[in-house]
Every structure is written in structure tokens, then in C-alpha cells.
A and B are shown apart, each in its own frame.
Chain A
Amino acid sequence: MNNLVLTAIAVPVFGSFLVLAAQKYRHILALMLVAVSFCAALFLLGPSLGQYTALDLKFMNLLNLEFAVDGLAVFMALCSSGIGALIIYYSFGYMKHYQHLTEYYFFIVLFIGSMLGLVFSANLLLMYFFWEITTICSWRLIGFYRKKQHLTNANKALYITFFGSVLMLIGIEMVYHQFGTLNLAQLRGVDIGNLPLLLLLIGMLAKSAQLPFQVWLSAASVAPSPVTALLHAAVLVKIGVYAFARIFCWTFYVPGQWSNIVPVIAIITALVSAACALRENDIKRILAYSTVSQIAYIFIGLSINTVIGIVGGLLYILVHGVGKAGLFLCAGVVEHETGEKDIRKLGGMAKTMPFTSLAFLLCALSIMGMPPFGGFWAKLLIILGLIESGKYIIAGLAILTAIITILYLLKFFNKVFMGKTTHPEIKEKSFEMTATVMVFAIAGLLIGIFVSIPLDFLQTIAKQMAGG
């Protein structure tokens, strides 16, 4: 088991440097590295269920290499590495014609690797350590095309998330100052006070692009589509959510008022960004705003801290990952083939790109929360969780957000894929890209139909978390 954890983390983290050396086969190597770590996480699935196994590598006093395996970590690791691997496969087709591919694959693998490191970390500082590696990776990947505006947006992303994380670091220092340890298992159930909690929360909100830090994520949509998919679906914004689940739900004793404050912040975020998505015309920015709004749902689910809410929130991490990755990659296909990003100038893609439009529709339905897709169950559980804990107003607003979500995603679908064909000459050229989006679409459907499998697993995790 220890070896499996180390394999899952070390193979992509150190393997990414091999990518620098592998000239011609860098893309295949990248895929294999992430696939290995996915497999390792998969093998952890059985033994991890319902228990917490710590692993201490005795590195140095402060930044000790302490890892831990439990259901939550393995679940998140599977989501990230699985979605990440598919996105890398998609990149084979998408990125073929661009420069600096070595840099691209290096950062992508390092990105996913450090995400896995973060997920398995059992030490706050170690978590922060991996946290900032992902910041640097995302910075380079957002500005990958090196256009002036892209670099400005990348700087904005790094700056805002770094702002959050330096505050979080102070929070971590305060915890260390109080308790003399940063080991999560040892800190479990302690009351660290409101200021450190606030500082930690700011770091998570900044990373997950919640209000008032949401602006960097829509700016980051200038990145290549597989990168945006990775940021939104698999690694970057999910870090804040995972850290919330790990730190707020699992580790510390969190006073009751936080389960009022966080949902309020999240629901405002959800509504504001849903409204922005309705107004926006750039295909990738629409999806970016949509992510902000859906991530807010996850925060709501986790923060109400009941079994139903946590299960809903965690399920939505998976479902949103799959759905949003699919949406971004479909948008990527459209943008890649037509070179057009404005939904008003696109139309009738369903005729020229049948598979992409089908995949888009399926993924969109999942994000809208339609049965039998996975998104239905996740949203249902989150809304039920809100009602269970008596937060009726927030539940009402969450419902309003869900309606707006249907509105803008259908508008997007109608404008881009239906109606008069604007680009009759284009085709779905790349097998890799089409296959990947179809896999995501069908995965979303299968999760929804066989929902009892993830639900069983997540219920065990949620009971651990809520019980602790």
C-alpha cells in the first residue's frame, strides 16, 4: 500500500523531468506516467475504504513527508488522474501543431503529479508545498501561447491564487504555533480558532475562484482548451474544494457559524457567475463562469456538513469533473477547427460535427442536473442537504442557479450547434479529440445510471468525515 501511494505521487512528479528528455515520444510518455498513477490509485481503492492509513517518510522536522490514504484521498486521486489522463490523450490531437510541446507535457504531468501529492498529503505544510507547485504549473500553462494578453491573464491567475495562499500560509503558521504539529491526523477535531480558519478559507476560495476571487478563472480561459479543461475539471479549482473537504470537514473542529457563512459566500458566487455566464458570448468564458457557479455548489454541499450534503458535494466533484472536461474539450474542438470563439458567429455545428455536438449535449445535460445523468443525483443531494439543514433561502437560490444553468447551457447549444451552418467546410478531423469527448459524455451518463456504485463508496467516506 505504501509503495502504491509513493508510485502514484512520485511517478508523475519525477517522471515529468523525463518528459524534458524524451523528444519524439514525450506525449506518449506523459500519458503513461499519468496512467501509471491512475492505476496505482485504482489499486488503492479496495484497501482504502473505511480506514485511514498514515505513511511517514521522516524527511525533515517541519516539512515532513507524511502521506495518508483514505477513501476521500483515493476518490479525489482517481478523479484527477483519470480525467487528467484523458485530457492528455485529447492533447495529442489538439496540440499537435504548436511549439514548445515539451514544456507543455512537462507542466501537465507535473501538475497532475503535484495534485496527487496534495491529495495524499497528511501534513498541512506538505499540502501547501504541492499546492504552490500547481500554481506555478497553471501559470505557465495559462500563458502557454505567450501572447501579451495571455501572459497578463496568467499573471492575474497566479497573483490572485498566490494572494490566497500566502494568507493560508499564515493560517498554517498559526496552527503550527498553537499545536506544534501540522499532521492532520494529530490535529483532528481540534479547535484552531476563527482567524486561522478564515485565513485557510481565503486560500481555498482563491484557489477555487469563488467570490471575490472569481475573476482569474474567466481570464484563464485564454489557455489551450485541454489546459482549461484540466484547470476546471481535474486539478486546479478542485484543489480548493478538496482542501475544504479535507481541512474543514475532516480535520478541524469547525464552529457552527462557518456552516452559515460558507454557503452564503458560495450561493452569491453561484448566482453572480451564473448571471455572467448568461451574459457572456465567448464560448470558453461561458464555461469558465459556469465552473465557478458549479464549484460553489460543491462548497455548499460540503459546508453544510451532513452526510447527504457531503455525499452530494463529493459526487459533484466527480460528475462536474467529467462533465466540464467534456464541455471544454467540445468547445475546444469547435474553436480549434473554426478558429472562432464568439457564439454569435457560430451555428449549425451539429451537421458538420455530429459526435462533438452529441457529446456536448450529453455533458451539458449532466451539468444542468437532468436525469439520468450524474449531475442530477449530485444536485439533488445538495439541494436535499440544504433543505435538511433548514437553509431554505439558500436552497431556493440554489434552485434558481440550477434554472439559470439550464438557460445558458441550452442557449450555448442552440447557438453553436443548431441552426444554420456557419462553417460548412470543417470536419471532426482528429480521432483522439472526438473519442475523448465521447468518453466523457458516456461516462457522465454511466455514472448517473449506475449511481449506486459511487454512492456506496461516498457514503462510507461521508460518514467518516461527518462523524469525525
Chain B
Amino acid sequence: MVDTNILLTFLSLPFISAIAIFALNKTAGKLRELLSVFVSLAVFLIAVFIFVCLPDGGVGFGFNIGLPWIVNLNIDWLSSFLVMLISFIGCLAVVYSVGYMRLHKGLRRYYPFLLLFIGSMNGAVIAGDLLTMFFFWELMSLFAFFLIIFDGDNIAVAAGAKYLIMSGAGSLCMLFAIGFLFFSQGSADISVISGLATYPDKTTFVVMVLFIIGLGVKAGMVPLHTWLPDAHPAAPSPVSALLSGVMIKVAIYWMFKVFILMFGFSNIWQFTLCALGSITIIIGVMMALVQSDIKRLLAYHSVSQIGYMILGIGTGVGVGMFGGLFHLLNHALFKGLLFLGAGALIYRTKTRDLDKYGGLLKAMPITFITCLIAALSISGVPPFNGFVSKWMIYQGVIEAGAGHGLGMSWGWWIFLTAAVFGSALTLASFIKVIFSAFFGEQPSALKNLNIKEVCASMYAPLIILAALCVVFGVFPQIPLKYFFKMGVASIPGAVILNGIWNPTLATMLVLAGVVLGVIVYLLSSARMRTEEIFIGGEKLDSENIRIPGATMYNTIKEMKYFSGIYKTAAAGGFDLYLYGLDWARRISQQIYFGIDGTIDKLYDSLGKITGVFGGFILNHSSKITAILGGVLIISIAVSSAVMLRSAAVFIMIFYALMAISENRITKFIIWCALSQLGYAILGLGLPQAASATILYMATALVGWSLMIISLFHLRRNNKADDINKLAGAAERNPFMTVIFIIGGFGLAGLPPLFGFIGKFDLSSAGLAVNPVYSFIIAITALLTCAYVLKISKILLQKD
């Protein structure tokens, strides 16, 4: 029986054991590998157990861990099947890594991350609510990132960063939709969220678009696929097998859940998804056709195959969706196999360039046969598994067309053509791969490497996967019956397989034909004739007559309309990420100088304006003193409080400005004192401010005296009346500098120094009359602070 403990064990085993493996001694290489294989196998076995023992309808558990939502884990027929697939491919990848990664450094972090990646994928699948799913989803991105950047060079990190940023952008879009559903439905639990048709169309539209973006990035849907061709060449091959084999399937799984089980989607979405799927198929395969880096090529094929799955789900009819899911399984098998096979080639030849391969048929027979099977499977050639699932998708498209949904009635044949044509191109592309890697002569560079078949830990996974491709192709009823048995009820529409296609019988007939052919061949006495090529007596080096397969489709590349498109594509012209980066760069440039720089300049110019204004006043100091003195006397004579206060305000501000611009110590002291006197006059002009004024004067006097003492001391020591000549005085007279700063900040009213309370009292008294006075006092405090800062900067500066 599947209970909480088993589920939690299943989920946490990779995480805990990853920590344990990381903690192992540096030298414990063999033990580390053994433990990793063992753990991944155990995870797989638990997944099988869960799959077998799962009751109909699945089980779910909720945990309250103090988050605003209940963390749900839910396992049903589909998720149990998918975690089994993930753990299976994961286990094979770990086994394969034992051989493949043997010569790499940094294995101490490699195996833990591999297990963490597998664990987080499992988590993302069995999450029962969208927020928990989001957590594991991001975790999955993170560990994939760590695995992609494993090599640690700039290119790998840039590819990893591209992946992390694109998928981060996508999943944050999705978070928006999730958050919206969470608050509007009151729960993020998938089983609770339903009936979304009750929303106004606009809301559903936005939510759906956000989900398509978020899931599409991870799935590698065109035009959001651009991380795939960069990430795969950077990542080690077993990691590629996991990324393409299963990680992008997690996104397909969630598309299935979100669009079909949660939204029960309408015609417009049917059409949109079908269209997106078809575009993805064609663009992916067209790009794959002209690649010469084997892993880039395979990455584009992943994009293309994802298109089939999206198309299958998009049909919205039972057979199509089943086909999509079956293709998901099949793709995991053959794409995992292809990446591992490519890994075997890379391991032996030390290159990813198809141009540099050739003639590996005899050296690596197992790799050849398994890759051939995978290539035929992915191209949809019977009797391999890819054919069956693609056939189901075709049927789904036709059926959806018969359903006369919006746009589907005329769109179906376009989608069907795209899908069939995509298959043909896939085959073409793999003919190139098989030909250039395995046939022909070995280039001399490879001959020197003395290439052999890879070791057992690497070819065992190849054989297992290839065998499964054949078995699921010949006996598709096994996966369809057992893996999807419980799904029949939850997918709307019955699954009817049209046409008379009995794969088992057909295979038997094909096999019989082959056997017959062999018998005829053996019985006949015909001999094959071999002739030397006529080369006019000249002896040719095999290198020169070698035709590299990578150039096979250069004609397509150079076709009239395609050449421009391909060139743009190679330069990243269709890469939304690069566009985004470019925009981000340009806009940030604008903001950096336009906003941040402008504000910065504004502050600087405020300082400058103050200085210029202060200088202007300083030049007319005698006139101003006379005028202010006159006003003061008159205001006292007529005993006008308002006039007195106004005079005080001007005295405070003007003398403070003078003090800022003054360079002579003696005069500075005077301006400073006069400015402070302004406060006292203001206090006289305010009602009920007598005690505040007295307190203020007392504190100002203290501050001012401290400034006099320190400045005169410094003046005597440095024998200069010019403030600028005191530069660096703090080194020689630290004590006097401290005194100056204390006095100055006290005067400016910075706590904890003495001026603060007096200023507060005075300002409060001003506030009672008119808030303007408080602001004037604040401005004067700022000006006071300005001259104190100016002088202390001179005193402190070292250079």
C-alpha cells in the first residue's frame, strides 16, 4: 500500500543521500559511484513499487509546515508513471556516468547534483498543488543549472545562465498565474482548482498565456526553445540525456494537467496548442538538419519532438492525447539513448563535430546498432516505438479536424502535414548523422586515437534503452495497456485506434521477409564484384575522397530563401533571449546615465549652486550685514514679531551660506556665530520660546566654543589662516579634529550631541506658530552641516 512514509522516502532519498555522498572522503571514488548507482536504483525500485501498488484514483497527502498553503503531494496514474520513467532514465544516466565521467574532475559534486536533479524532478511531478510544484520546479532548474555549468568554462556558465534566466523568467510568469489562482480559488490544490470557465474570458486568457509561457520555456517550445541548443553541448552527455529525456517532459506533464485536467480547455486553446506544436516540429527539425555539432543537432530534435507532444495534447481528443503521452515515454527512451550514444562517440573521439567523425561502424558496433535503432525510432519508422505514438498523434489530429472545432476544421490538414513532413525531415537528418558517424573511412585524426567500443557501464544503458524501443514498437499494447490503464477514465473521449495496423503481426511479416531474403541470398551463388575506382593511376589518400556527412544538407542551407533565415538563426537573430539581453543592456544604459546619473548630478549641482550663491553673498557681506541689521533694529523698534522672525530667518540662512563659502578661519568663526545668533533672534520672535531659546543659545555657545578652540589651535599649529591649508591636519592633530567635529555636529543638531534638544525645542515652538519656521530651521541645520562637513573633509583628507 502506498502511504505517506513511502512517498516521503521516495521523495527525500535522493536529497539525503546526495548530502551523504557529498560528505564522503575526496578519495572514495569507487564508493561514491557505487552508492550513487545504488541510490538511483533504489529510487527506481520504489517508483516501480508505487506504480504497481497504487490504488485506483491515486493517493494524496497534505502537510502544514507553516507556509500560507498546505503542501500537497499527490500521486495518480500519470504521475506515478512519470516518476517511474524519470527514475529509470535517471538510474541509467548514473550507471552511464560511472564510465563516461571517469576522467573528469569534480565528481564529488557531480553525483550529488545528479541525484538532487532526479529528486527534484520527481518532486515537481508528484506535487499536488501548484505552489509546491513551483518550489520543486525552480529547484529542478537550479540543479539542472549546476549540471550544465559542470565544466566551469565561460561558455558553459553562459549557457547555464541562459537556461536559468529563461526558465526563471518563464516560471516567474507562471508564478503570477499560480498566485492568481491561489487567491481567487482559495487554494492551490489541483484537485480543488477547477471550473475555471466561470472566469471572464479575459482572465482565463491571461492565466493560460502565462502558463503556456512558463511551461513552454521548460519544454523547449518554439520560440522559447533557444536555451536547449546551448545547454546541451555544454552539459555532460548523461546530463543531456536527463535534460532532454525527462526534464522537458515534466513540462509536458504539467501542460497536460493544467490544460486538460484543470481548465478543460476550449477550442481556441486547442487550435493555439496545435499551431504551436506544429511550428515547433517544423522549426526544430529544420534547424537540426543543418547542424554539425552532434549535441546541438540532437537538442534541436528534442525541440521538434516536443512539438509532437504539444500537438498531441492540443488535439484534445483521446487518441491524440494518449499519443502525446506515449510519445513522451518513447521520446524519453530514444532521446536518452541518442544522447548516451552521442556521449559514447564524444568519449572516444573527444569531439562533438560531425565532420570529424567517420567509419566508426567496425570500431563501435554496439553504439552503431543502438543508435541506428534510436534514429529509426525517432523518425517514426515502423516497427519501432516512435512510429506507434506518431501514428496515434496523426489520428488525433484527423479526429480533431472531424470535430469541427474553431479553426481545426481547416487547420487539421496543415498540422497533419507539418507532423508527417517533420517525421520525414527527422529521418533525413538522422541519415546524415548515421552516415557521417559510422560509415565511410575513419579520418586520420581518429585513426591515431585507436578507437574501441566503450565500457560495459556505458553500453549497458544503450542496450537496455534500444531493447525497450524495439519492444514498445513491436508490442505497443504493453505500455498502452499497463502504463496508461488508469488514465482512460480521466481523459475525455474514448481511445479508438483507427486503421488496420497490427504492429506485432507486421513485425513478424517484416522479419519473415528478412529471413527469406537471407535464405535466398545464401542459396544463390551470386558473388559480389568489387572494382577499384578509376583514378587515372594517381594514388589518392583516403582523407581526400572522404565525403563528410555534415555537409549533406548544405543545399538546403544555401537555398534561395532559406539561406538568409539560416544565417540569421545561426547569428541568434530569432533568439528571444538575445533580444531580451540586448534590450536590457540598452535600457539599463539609458537608466544608468539618464536616471541614476541625473539624480547624482542633481545633488552635485545643488551643492555647487549653494556654493556659488554663498560666494555671491560673501562678496556683498557688508551690505547684507547693514541691511539685516537695519531691519532688525526697526523690527525691535516697532516690536513686530513677524518682522523680527523674518529678519532672523534671513540672518540664519545668509550667514550660514557665507560660512560655507568662507575660507578664512577667523571670518568663518564670525559668520558661524552670526548664523547661530539668528536662531536666538528667531526664538525671541516666537511666543513661549524663552526657555527653548536659552537652552539653544547655551548649546550653540558650547558648540561654537569647541569650534573656536579647535580651529584656532589648528591655525596656530599649521601657521595658516586659510582653511584649505589645514588639509590632512587630522593626522597631526587628531584630538583637535575630534573636538572640531564634535562641536560642529553639535551645532548642526545631530544627536547624540548637545545641540539636538535645543533645536528640537526651538523647532517645536516654531511649528506652533507656522510650520515654515520648522522647515527654515531644518534648512539652516543642513547648511550648518554643510560647512562642518566641508571643513572636516579638509581636515581628514590624506591625499
Report B's interface with A, CB cutoff 8 A. 65-68, 131, 134-136, 138-139, 141-142, 149, 152-154, 157-158, 161, 164-165, 168-169, 172-173, 175-176, 179-180, 182-183, 581, 584-585, 587-589, 591-592, 595-596, 599-600, 603, 730, 745, 748, 750-752, 756-757, 760-761, 763-764, 767-768, 771, 774-775, 778, 781-782, 785-786, 789-790, 793, 796-799
Contacts and interface: CB of A to CB of B under 8 A. Distances in A.
Given A215-B596, A278-B584, A410-B161, 12 more contacts: A148-B798, A162-B750, A167-B778, A170-B774, A219-B600, A279-B585, A311-B68, A365-B142, A383-B179, A395-B179, A396-B176, A452-B66
Contact of B154 (A170, A380, A419): A419
Contacts of A173: 760, 763-764, 767, 774
Contacts, number: 204
A406 to B, nearest CB: 5
Majority secondary structure of chain A interface residues (helix, strand, loop or mixed):
helix
Interface string A135-172: 11000000101111001100110111011001101100
B68 A381 contact: yes
Contact of B152 (A211, A219, A418, A456): A418
B157 A387 contact: no
A276 B771 CA distance: 38
Given A163-B782, A372-B139, A455-B66, A169 B767 contact: no
Interface centre among B169, B180, B750 (most CB of A within 10 A): B750
Interface string A359-393: 00000010010111000110011011001100010
A143 B737 CA distance: 15
Interface string A270-305: 011101101110000000000000000000000000
B592 A371 contact: no
Interface of A: 62-63, 125, 128-133, 135-136, 143, 145-148, 151-152, 155-156, 158-160, 162-163, 166-167, 169-170, 173-174, 176-177, 211-212, 214-215, 218-219, 271-273, 275-276, 278-280, 307-308, 311, 350, 365, 368, 370-372, 376-377, 380-381, 383-384, 387-388, 392, 395-396, 399, 402-404, 406-407, 410-411, 413-414, 418-420, 451-452, 455-456, 459
B176 A399 contact: yes
A384 B68 contact: yes
17 contacts: A146-B798, A148-B798, A158-B789, A162-B748, A169-B760, A169-B778, A174-B767, A214-B599, A215-B600, A276-B596, A384-B68, A388-B183, A395-B176, A399-B173, A402-B168, A418-B154, A451-B65
A278 B581 CA distance: 10
A44 B772 CA distance: 44
Contact of A272 (B67, B591, B781, B786): B591
B751 A129 contact: yes
Contacts of A402: 168, 172
B588 A279 contact: yes
A145 B158 CA distance: 37
A452 B65 contact: yes
A419 B153 contact: yes
A388 to B, nearest CB: 5
A452 B768 CA distance: 50
Contacts of B175: 380, 383, 399
A63 to B, nearest CB: 7
Contacts of B603: 156, 159-160, 215
A136 B745 contact: yes
Nearest to B158: A414
Interface centre among A166, A406, A410, A459 (most CB of B within 10 A): A166
Contacts of A212: 599
B179 A387 contact: yes
Contacts of A414: 154, 157-158, 161
Contact of B764 (A159, A177, A399): A177
B609 to A, nearest CB: 14
